[in-house]
Chains A and B, each alone.
Chain A
Amino acid sequence: MSATHSRDPAVLLASLVKRYGDKKAVDGLDLRVDQGEIFGLLGPNGAGKTTTLEIIAGLRAPTSGTVRVAGLDPTAERQELVRVLAVQPQQAQLFPLLTAEETLTLWRTFYERPGDVAELLAAVSLTESARTQVRNLSGGQERRLLIACALIGRPRAVVLDEPSTGLDPNARAELWEVLLRFRDEGGTVMLSTHSMDEAQSLCDRVAIIDHGRLLAEGSPAELIARHAPHHLVTFSRDAGHARDLLASRPDVLAIDVRGTKVHVSTSDPTAVSALLRGIDPPVRDVVVRASGLDEVYRELTGRVFTEVKV
């Protein structure tokens, strides 16, 4: 049995490979997640996020490579692992006929030093729903209850597979608060997401993966500075005449049409927006913002993240 040391990285992956038949779901992944950070695995559906997280959680065995979680081998040292790592798999459901309070009361019996049920219910804003059966909770409430189940054993790290999928903005913000509080108390969070917004707003560091391979790793600000240091100007796609004017400008790096908007990557947002507002007829809804992880993904893959086929 390996001892778990406080200086061990929370998660360490080296040359991780997972094959399903001929298909490589994870293709030589190297990652290090330090203790006390929120680390996001970012990528489109099918990128290998869930497989990677399930290997970290010991739910799947890797084909090859090394995996260590708090110094433990998730497959060989599973009994020790479940005491330090809590997991929220993507499609897990709780006992449908138990109430939220009964669920947490049950979950706390699995651990040696569990947290307090009432405190956790309050932390995930479920005090008023404590006596509601799980089947009658909303999607967001059930997701927060799952997070509470993950936290009640006072784990050192939690692995969450797309925790905010399907949540409305308020529920998502409440979920983020819970995770930030856990991080602030020294816990490590590793989550997968296909939301650029979530990765940028919540994660201390992110790894962008595609087809099971690591494309880039770092803090959102570092990745943006490194791969997409330009700005984005967006405007209504009705203004087709403006697109023709912009296409020949040397400070315009790319033009994408997505939905009802045209997105222009540029090194000189002031000049581009002035041009758009000055032409006749003037272009409506011109918005300037700094690039985000969407643009980083585009730079790295040549594809637009939101248009990746699932």
Chain B
Amino acid sequence: MNWTLALAHTRQLTRDRRAAMGVIGFPLLFLVLAMVGPVGSGDVSRFQLPGALFTALAAIALYGTVLPTAELRRRGTLRLLSTTPLTRRALLFSLAPLRLVLAAAFIVLNCAVSVAYGYLEVSRLPGLVLTSAVGLAFLLALGFVFAAVLTSAETSETVLTILVIAIIFIGDAVVPLSMLPAGVADVLQWLPPALITGALRWELVGMEPPHPEWVTWAIGAGGALLLGALAVRVFRWDDGSSS
């Protein structure tokens, strides 16, 4: 791990208020919306709190990774880096530490809200940490794939908006899978997004998960490894004009 490069990415993000707001503000908004639930219905909040955590992980992993990388590619910074001994793997993985810290902060925040409403049991905390780690790894790897190829911030924003909405939708984060046609729900429940949300729902608020946690960890970690390898393979230093 090139920690100086990881620090450089951190500085780039924290010194850019707009980017920082996208990564931090969007997940906070979902958390606030989830907290508003108990006023009307405790069940809504209980359902949405894990969804808010999943959305936070998705925003941090996707917005926080793809947009800055695409912008560096558009500016030619990645092309310049390609003339140094820096490897594509080192570049991609140096994006992870800041996202881990942000994710940890949101996990703590969600846990605090869950404790405040009396949902969280201490015995489920280790599982929550592991599921969050696997979920973040999967979403980061997915972000790396898009960060590896998208060439402009404008294109990335469009693609990411569609991607995040799709992930939240198929991830059982806002709309319950039970509201979807049975055949569709049967498939989606085995994909990492829904598995992760399902496990978080058990660990964070005590709602029974559709599958054992180990299934989520195995499929999530496997997906992260596959997507991570794909990202390294398809990564482009420049905007494709060199051939």
| Chain A residues with CB below 8 A from B16, complex form | 97
Number of interface residues of A (CB under 8 A): 33
Check if B4 is an interface residue, CB within 8 A of chain A: yes
Instruction: Report whether over half of chain B's contact residues are helix, strand or loop; otherwise say mixed.
Output: loop
Q: How many residue pairs at the A-B interface have CB separations less than 8 Å?
A: 71
Partner of B76, one of A58, A91, A107, A110: A91
| Chain B residues with CB below 8 A from A33, complex form | none
Within 8 A of B (CB), among A197-219: none
- Nearest-neighbor residue (CB-CB) of B87 within chain A: A79
Partner of B79, one of A59, A96, A105, A149: A59
Flag if A98 contacts B11 (CB, 8 Å): yes
Flag if A94 contacts B80 (CB, 8 Å): yes
Bound form: Cα–Cα A55–B101 in Å: 41
Partner of A82, one of B5, B11, B83: B83
Within 8 A of B (CB), among A52-88: 54, 57-61, 79, 82-83, 85-88
Bound form: Cα–Cα A93–B85 in Å: 18
**CB-CB contacts of B1-26 with A at 8 A, as 1s and 0s?**
01011001001100110000000000
Check if B84 is an interface residue, CB within 8 A of chain A: yes
- Nearest-neighbor residue (CB-CB) of B90 within chain A: A110
Name the distance in Å between A153's Cβ and chain B's nearest Cβ: 7
Flag if A106 contacts B80 (CB, 8 Å): no
- B-side residues, CB < 8 A to A, are 2, 4-5, 8, 11-12, 15-16, 72, 75-77, 79-80, 82-86, 238, 242-243
Question: Could you list 22 A-B pairs, sorted by A, with CB under 8 Å?
Answer: A58-B83, A59-B79, A59-B82, A60-B242, A61-B243, A82-B85, A83-B85, A85-B83, A86-B84, A87-B80, A89-B80, A91-B76, A92-B79, A93-B75, A93-B77, A94-B80, A97-B11, A98-B8, A105-B4, A109-B5, A153-B84, A153-B85
Closest 5 CB pairs of A and B: A92-B80, A87-B83, A97-B15, A110-B84, A92-B76
